[in-house]
Chains A and B, each alone.
Chain A
Amino acid sequence: MATKKPSRIDVKKTYKLYINGAFPRSESGRVFEVTAKNGNFVANPALASRKDLRDAVTAARAAQSGWAKATAYNRGQILYRIAEMLEGRSEQFESEIALTSHTTPAKAKALVSEAIDRWVWYAGWSDKLQAVSGATNPVSGPFFNFSISEPQGVVAVASSESFIEFSDAVAAAVVSGNTAVVLVPGGLAVPAMSFAEVLATSDLPAGVINILTGSLDELAPWAASHMDIDGFDITGIQKKKHGALKEAGAENLKRIHSFGSGKTPTRILAFMESKTVWHSVGI
């Protein structure tokens, strides 16, 4: 058998987690295997543990007030910059998605383009949310009465294996000023960690988006019961498991929602709270 001498040694990438703007390994030291359609080995992403989840929530909580205080314009700029960075590295995402989600290069290309467009679309919502969801309420008295939407706090996201649905869920969670802890299953771990590199270079403050790769079945119950998580997007989890998660989240009145496919501002508003302010007229 003829052997071909490689021109140079492969530089393999170590897939880690993305917590608080850094790339730590899982505290547990565990990994899982991602394979291509033909069964060939692709990568060993980190299999996050519940302690990684706890650390990610601590980071997200610490980052939340600063991110919510940033102007809507600034948050929109940063989300738009994420789209810019994605665009610049689109070829890498296309090949990774084709490889790990077992699809054709043409379909992967269309998928990445759509995901980038979604980030731009959500970026645009940052300074328009108040105009759409806020209101001056009619009251019978000498008062102004306003309702203003505010971010909830820390939102956990259990993503499906689709990169578009991942983008929808994450962008919708953070554009309003929430911070996110994103749980990523299976083969999506590979493009998701490349996406973390995009985040790290897009002026997004550390801790605003934290990405944990691994098993949703293992992590979702801990996220649902975590008292310091305010909302939970469980779109990526099978319907039959929703009941148990909602029950676990009842202790701190966590908002637990799942969404259909497609972009919609209701997904942003689902993790915002309405604050009503009374102000006397003429003072």
Chain B
Amino acid sequence: MSFYGLVDGSEKSLIHFLDQLSGVDQVGAEARAAMLATRSIKTSSKKWAIETAISMVDLTTLEGADTPGKVRALCSKAVRPDPTDPTVPSVGAVCVYNDMVEIARTHLDSIGGEHVPVAAVSTAFPSGRASMEVKIQDTQDAINAGAAEIDMVIDRGAFLAGKYGLVFDEIVKIREVCGGKAHLKVIFETGELVTYDNVRKASYLAMLAGADFIKTSTGKVAPAATPPVVLVMLEAVRDFYSMTQRRIGVKPAGGIRTTKDAIKQLVLVNETAGPEWLTPDLFRIGASALLNDLLMQRMKMSDGYYASPNYVTID
């Protein structure tokens, strides 16, 4: 088998490929991300950024306490984030646990939200500690229930132990289960990978194995989607595009709660990967509280005065 002609699927070729990647300049990456975070986005650019960010949100609820009612409410919000203003775009997707996929899909279809896909977290999310059979079944269940996007976690223990082949094979197998029916997002949990070098290696490993998206975190571990980590991942998708002519998406998730944070992410995308990535097909933001802040900032821009959380829905 050949993966983009870069590796042949064997652990040996994979290790050879990952070893020839250059290390990340930690100080440089942090300084670059901090510098880009100082960009000031105002007036019409800010309005565009807010609306683009809304369309990129993967509106997420991943709690043990999720109820069908809460998932339905979240779906209604995903289709029409601000019920008083139909010009606000729908979000990128609704992201839920496996067993909630059917409830979400049915509700979305019944309220005119056919265009909003349902993403399911899969492969023993969030720890990834289960047998391969369980992970495959988990993914199959989600797809059968109507999930159009699969957010799988990698086995961080195997990755940190250097068993790159194992991690690679898992992604390849889940990719096969997804087939043409579902997009595959691969979650690294960058907070557990510790170094930027590992983030870069994991990015290439996942892209080679067939990921459509690479995603920073589960949202259960801090630190999550820090700007330098996202920068390293965006550099990886940019360079991967020049090697293979295929654009892979990036999804930061966890810790992005304010409009300011979201706009910083968009600046990172534009300046690192390029404006081609500024679309919900190639960039998503995994969040729950962020959407309310985006809506409040949008209200502030259209009304001319500061908004109150009393006027947006409680998730």
Contacts and interface: CB of A to CB of B under 8 A. Distances in A.
- Tell whether A and B belong to one assembly: yes
Judged by DSSP, the binding face of A is helix
Contacts of B310: 227-228
Contacts of A222: 305-306
A230 to B, nearest CB: 9
Nearest to A221: B305
B306 A54 contact: yes
B127 interface: no
A179 to B, nearest CB: 14
Contacts of B305: 222, 225-227, 248, 251
A164 to B, nearest CB: 30
A252 B309 CA distance: 13
A61 to B, nearest CB: 7
Given A222-B305, A227-B306, A228-B310, 4 more contacts: A57-B306, A61-B309, A227-B305, A227-B310
The interface centre, meaning the residue of B306, B308, B310 with most chain A CB atoms within 10 A of its CB, is B306
19 contacts: A54-B306, A222-B305, A225-B304, A225-B306, A226-B306, A226-B308, A227-B305, A227-B306, A227-B307, A227-B308, A227-B310, A227-B311, A228-B306, A228-B307, A228-B308, A228-B309, A228-B310, A248-B305, A252-B308
A222 B307 CA distance: 11
Interface of B: 304-311
Interface size class of A (residues with CB under 8 A): 10 to 19
Nearest to A249: B305
Contacts of B309: 61, 228
A54 B293 CA distance: 13
Nearest to A50: B306
A227 B312 CA distance: 12
Nearest to B307: A227
B33 to A, nearest CB: 20
Interface string A223-259: 0011110000000000000000000100110000000
A225 B306 CA distance: 7
Contacts of A225: 304-306
Interface string A194-234: 00000000000000000000000000001001111000000
